[in-house]
Structure 1
Amino acid sequence: PRLAISGTDEHGLKIQQAAAASGTSPPEHCAHVSGLFHDLFSRAAVSFTDFIRTTEPRHCRAVQHFWTALQGRGMLYKAFYEGWYCTPDECFLSQAQVTERPDAQGHPCKVSLESGHQVHWTKEENYMFKLSEFQEPLRKWLQGNRHVISPEPFYQLVLRWLEEDLPDLSVSRERSRLQWGIPVPGDSTQTIYVWVDALVNYLTVAGYPDTHHAWWPAAHHVVGKDILKFHAIYWPALLMAVGLDPPEQIYVHSHWTVRGQKMSKSLGNVVDPVACFTRYTVDGFRYFLLRQGVPERDCDYYEEKVIKLLNSELADALGGLLNRCTAHNINPSGTYPPFSELCFRKDSALTPGEASGRAVAEDYQLVASVAHLPSQVTHYFEHFQIYKALESITACVRQTNGFFQRHAPWKLCRENPAEKQWLDTILHVTLECLRLYGILLQPVIPATADKLLSRLAVLPEERALSDVAFLPRYHGKLCPFEGRQLGPDTGPLFPRLEMPRRRQLETKGP
């Protein structure tokens, strides 16, 4: 069994200030924003076992227990701390991480080098976590687990961070300044630092402090590159400090830019996912993000790019192939036609001398490619390389279209028994390829995959990865789909999308 976790981190100065600016209380503000995320995931067909809100009583109990464990092991001390504090990023920054830039009015102000957000000099008495004691343990953990952080460039980045000084970490804030957070147990003047609070959510959902041992440390985190230090240095060190193992895997992803620019409210170029669901369909937008999203580098979004990709790969290549092999004029019986071993001989040595053998070398390459596809896609999925999985599927879809085009079944005569046998075999092979693509695409485009598999009359209980069993007749085994009536035609598999009007005008000739 697996737990799939999502949720919202709801404490901190940034939230406190945002609630004040919107004229609501922090609890009301958090309930509204958390609801938006919950609704967005539901609309986007993102499923989860648990949606954790860090304002929940179960989480507050877990955080206070975790803090007490740190204190009991002598990992905390109180000291005066001063430095540049970035409220939007909720972290202190060193002098080297800060630069000076003009603000909107042209006045010089200090900002974070990494995020560009404004920073302020802050001095206060806080609890400090003995992070410096974990520099060597963290280095050993990483060097002994080469693939614990992936992709590789982010693993190397964390190792470089560990070559620099690792100062102790301020893990509380004065409650007079920050009321919106979990109080430090036994000290009403201090609030637990939001990042200690937020990171403990992974333990909360695993049942900490009572039943987490059944799950921990089998945790796999998926995080943005901007919060890598919190997850790859602070979090493992905090876990080691209370006697727990670091997570098994940290998958890191980069960001989306818009026409080469970072998304920003001030630039007005933030992409609204709900509008994209309407424009491209939910499946279309999911497919684009997962097909074009390369974790190790920022990727660029613009409308024409999305439309071109979806039209090419989903509407034309995949949808067109389904239409062609299920069309009434080519498959009048509307069934999954029989496969002929005489037409498509197994390991036929590829000699076209025998009149009964119709398959050519490229056809055998197609069968080999598609047969290898499930293990290839599984490997890529497990290694967080979804774009490579989809690249592999797309390559096979292109090969299948080539197979169909090469043998032109529409030119074959059904009245001729030998030609009918070959025509049925072409359709059978094509439908088998489509069945496999539908099964493999379910995690990425669930509604489209369901439509494809339903058209092929593949029952819900026949759609697991273990049910693939590609082209069994080629291996001399029975095919449960052979002779089965195809499902109803419910229209195009994926709708062709129109280019934006401004683009059409630009591309017209004089």
Structure 2
Amino acid sequence: MKFSTLRLISSKNFYISTPIFYVNSQPHIGHLYTALLADAFSRWKQIKKESVVFSTGTDEHGYKIQKKAAQENLKCLNFCDKISSQFKSLFDRSNIKYSDYIRTTQSRHKTAVIKFWKTLDSKGFIYKSSYSGWYSVNDECFLRNDEVEEKLDSNGNKVKVSMESGHVVEFTSESNYMFRLSEFKSRLRNYLSNEVIIPKIYLENLYNQIDNLEDLSVSRESSRLFWGIPVPSDESQIIYVWLDALVNYLTVAGYPDKNKMAETWPADVHVIGKDILRFHAIYWPAFLMAAGLSPPKKILCHGHWLVDNRKMSKSIGNVVDPFQILQKYNTDAVRYYLLREGVPGSDCNLNLENFSKFINVELANTLGNLYQRCVPFNKELIYPLYQDVKSELTHSDIHLIDGLNNLRHKCDEHFEVFNFYLGIQEIMSILRLTNSLVQEYKPWELVKSQKESDKKRIRKMLFLIYESLRISAIVLQPMVPDLCQDLLERLNVNTDHRFFDDAIVNQHDNQLKYLKNKTTVLFRRL
């Protein structure tokens, strides 16, 4: 889809982001799903003619990176370059149309982080103190005593682990800078009460965490951690990796340039996985409030992907490599499956045995075959006009037209809260209804007739099918952009007429239209 012809409806950009992905290991299918949710939402906003800033990228500081780089005998930056390029390659291969790919090792980001730290410090929200507590290296997270439990490791030894993630924690005692997080309990509660979290099922746990908030350590001793951004005026300390990482959203918005910020901030929605909700819904809004900035308007939180109903694990050997899936299937098929099967409010299950069957039923059969069925009955490639068929419309025809006219609004209702799977169900329902209409019309019999009434019946059927395909293709663009572009080009739909306002039955054209002469299969079965 081409977006150069957008007519902007607002002076402020709609700002959507993924988290910046941690480069301690290569990307997996969950990372791709997060990016697809944001990409599909970004595309939908652009179909509604909104100007969008869509950011993604990689988080490249912290002890885990330092440790991994040493294990591979690489300099930290070289290690980050390698893994970050894999994420970028995955997103490009998956047709993720981001407008900014940010890395925390970029100089623009370092400038933003230092300015943000100085702002928090000047407003009195940072102080130095001795800190003792549990720290999860894997999660890059400080934990309270009631968030830690004792378990036996694989060797039968007692270890302390995070109750939330299950990762081993270590007791840390050191001199750190602290952030006055405990002062923000009431403000965070008020903030979250404004329907910020989508879906709401994650809200109660956040309230429980807010009740127990303590001040947060926001630095580590550089003797332990050197791979990060030093605290201004105190290079013996490195800024906490999560404070560093979260500022990326401001970096993209042009912080600290107030003029650039006005075009984009506050962020409209952060798209994240449920494992990092605490950082985005508690730490991040508190940091922003302390700095005198508005917190994000919405946070979309989604579940994890399971494989055959089991959590992905290297030890089990069921980690799914998204590059292998993209190589085996085509890009649109992978996009469609993940957005069709993914339900943000729960964990999702990836069953590769059902992948082809699922794609073939809806994309190849329900959508693709509907287009192909017209080919034998439209040798002249005519796209009939409404005024030529309106006098012949039956109750069934009008029922389909009403459904088509309501489809964009039904999709909008679902897409605006990231329930792409429900919008897809609405689209497929319309396409199945159109397919049933073909069975009712029996064009294979009508084409043998020389009666003018039967010829009109075929033209009416073609009008209804092409309008169903056109409107469905417009609202399906966020999920399967390449397939929809191909279909809309076959239907000879101008690129300026592929937007939300165009997804309605066309009753006003007076000039006869023709289809492009392209009879190859629209979507090949997998």
TM-score higher than 0.5: yes
Whether the 8 Å CA contact 1:219–1:247 is kept in 2: the answer is yes
If asked which structure has higher relative contact order (CA below 8 Å, sep 6+), I would say 2
In 1, the alpha carbon distance for the partners of 2:241 and 2:382 equals: 60
Which residue number in structure 1 is paired with residue 139 of structure 2? 89
**Aligned to 2:318, which of 265, 269, 294?**
269
**Aligned to 2:286, which of 225, 229, 237?**
237
TM-score by length of 1: 0.90
> Do the aligned partners of residues 392 and 479 (structure 1) sit closer, same or farther apart at CA in structure 2, a change above 3 Å counting?
farther
Equivalences for residues 300-449 of structure 1 within 5 A: 300-325=349-374, 327-328=375-376, 330-339=377-386, 344-345=390-391, 357=392, 359=394, 361-412=395-446, 413-449=448-484
**Aligned to 2:201, which of 153, 156, 174?**
153
1:104 paired with 2:157, answer no
1:496 paired with 2:525, answer yes
Which residue number in structure 2 is paired with residue 281 of structure 1? 330
> Do the aligned partners of residues 35 and 100 (structure 1) sit closer, same or farther apart at CA in structure 2, a change above 3 Å counting?
same
Whether the 8 Å CA contact 2:483–2:523 is kept in 1: the answer is yes
In 1, the alpha carbon distance for the partners of 2:523 and 2:393 equals: 32
Percent identical: 44
> Do the aligned partners of residues 259 and 485 (structure 1) sit closer, same or farther apart at CA in structure 2, a change above 3 Å counting?
closer
Matched residue type, 2:327: T
- Please give the per-residue CA displacement for 1:339-394, whole angstroms capped at 9, x wherever unaligned: 466x654xxxxxxxxxxx462x3332221111100122123222222111111111
Q: CA RMSD in A?
A: 1.6
Which residue number in structure 2 is paired with residue 78 of structure 1? 128
- Please give the per-residue CA displacement for 1:326-347, whole angstroms capped at 9, x wherever unaligned: x23x222222234466x654xx
Whether the 8 Å CA contact 1:336–1:486 is kept in 2: the answer is no
Which residue number in structure 2 is paired with residue 227 of structure 1? 276
Whether the 8 Å CA contact 1:93–1:112 is kept in 2: the answer is yes
Whether the 8 Å CA contact 2:411–2:475 is kept in 1: the answer is yes
Which residue number in structure 2 is paired with residue 503 of structure 1? none
Matched residue type, 2:401: V
In 2, the alpha carbon distance for the partners of 1:45 and 1:17 equals: 32
Whether the 8 Å CA contact 1:148–1:250 is kept in 2: the answer is yes
1:467 paired with 2:502, answer yes
**Aligned to 2:486, which of 451, 472, 475?**
451
Which residue number in structure 1 is paired with residue 68 of structure 2? 18
**Aligned to 1:34, which of 73, 78, 84?**
84
Which residue number in structure 2 is paired with residue 486 of structure 1? 516
Equivalences for residues 45-194 of structure 1 within 5 A: 45-143=95-193, 145=194, 147-162=195-210, 164-194=211-241
- Please give the per-residue CA displacement for 1:163-192, whole angstroms capped at 9, x wherever unaligned: x21100010000000000000001111000
Matched residue type, 1:227: I
Which residue number in structure 2 is paired with residue 253 of structure 1? 302
Matched residue type, 1:73: K
In 2, the alpha carbon distance for the partners of 1:338 and 1:416 equals: 20
Report the alpha carbon displacement of residue 419 of structure 1 after superposing the two structures with TM: 0.7
Which residue number in structure 1 is paired with residue 249 of structure 2? 202
- Please give the per-residue CA displacement for 1:411-468, whole angstroms capped at 9, x wherever unaligned: 1145110110011101111111101111111111111111211221223333222333
In 1, the alpha carbon distance for the partners of 2:495 and 2:396 equals: 32
Report the alpha carbon displacement of residue 479 of structure 1 after superposing the two structures with TM: 5.4
Matched residue type, 1:381: F
Whether the 8 Å CA contact 1:454–1:487 is kept in 2: the answer is no
In 2, the alpha carbon distance for the partners of 1:306 and 1:124 equals: 51
In 2, the alpha carbon distance for the partners of 1:20 and 1:35 equals: 19
In 1, the alpha carbon distance for the partners of 2:267 and 2:319 equals: 35
Whether the 8 Å CA contact 1:82–1:123 is kept in 2: the answer is yes
In 1, the alpha carbon distance for the partners of 2:393 and 2:131 equals: 79
TM-score by length of 2: 0.87
Q: Secondary structure at the match of 1:138?
A: helix
Report the alpha carbon displacement of residue 41 of structure 1 after superposing the two structures with TM: 0.7
> Do the aligned partners of residues 479 and 97 (structure 1) sit closer, same or farther apart at CA in structure 2, a change above 3 Å counting?
farther
In 1, the alpha carbon distance for the partners of 2:524 and 2:509 equals: 35
When structure 1 is superposed on structure 2, of 244-253 and 188-197 the one drifting more is 244-253
> Do the aligned partners of residues 414 and 161 (structure 1) sit closer, same or farther apart at CA in structure 2, a change above 3 Å counting?
farther
Report the alpha carbon displacement of residue 13 of structure 1 after superposing the two structures with TM: 0.7
Report the alpha carbon displacement of residue 140 of structure 1 after superposing the two structures with TM: 1.6
Q: Secondary structure at the match of 2:121?
A: helix
Matched residue type, 2:162: S
Whether the 8 Å CA contact 2:270–2:300 is kept in 1: the answer is yes
Matched residue type, 2:206: V
Q: Secondary structure at the match of 1:207?
A: coil
| Structure 1 unaligned blocks of 5 or more | 346-356, 498-510
Whether the 8 Å CA contact 1:340–1:421 is kept in 2: the answer is no
Matched residue type, 2:398: Y
Which residue number in structure 2 is paired with residue 348 of structure 1? none
Matched residue type, 1:294: V
> Do the aligned partners of residues 243 and 422 (structure 1) sit closer, same or farther apart at CA in structure 2, a change above 3 Å counting?
same
Matched residue type, 2:433: Q
In 2, the alpha carbon distance for the partners of 1:362 and 1:293 equals: 33
Matched residue type, 1:316: N
In 1, the alpha carbon distance for the partners of 2:497 and 2:352 equals: 36
In 2, the alpha carbon distance for the partners of 1:221 and 1:203 equals: 12
Report the alpha carbon displacement of residue 237 of structure 1 after superposing the two structures with TM: 0.4
Whether the 8 Å CA contact 1:78–1:125 is kept in 2: the answer is yes
Report the alpha carbon displacement of residue 219 of structure 1 after superposing the two structures with TM: 3.3
Report the alpha carbon displacement of residue 324 of structure 1 after superposing the two structures with TM: 0.3
Matched residue type, 1:332: K
In 2, the alpha carbon distance for the partners of 1:184 and 1:33 equals: 26
In 1, the alpha carbon distance for the partners of 2:471 and 2:264 equals: 33
> Do the aligned partners of residues 243 and 485 (structure 1) sit closer, same or farther apart at CA in structure 2, a change above 3 Å counting?
closer
Displaced runs of 4+ in structure 1, greater than 3 A?
337-341
| Structure 2 unaligned blocks of 5 or more | 1-50
* Alignment length (residue pairs): 473
When structure 1 is superposed on structure 2, of 75-84 and 50-59 the one drifting more is 75-84
Whether the 8 Å CA contact 2:267–2:295 is kept in 1: the answer is no
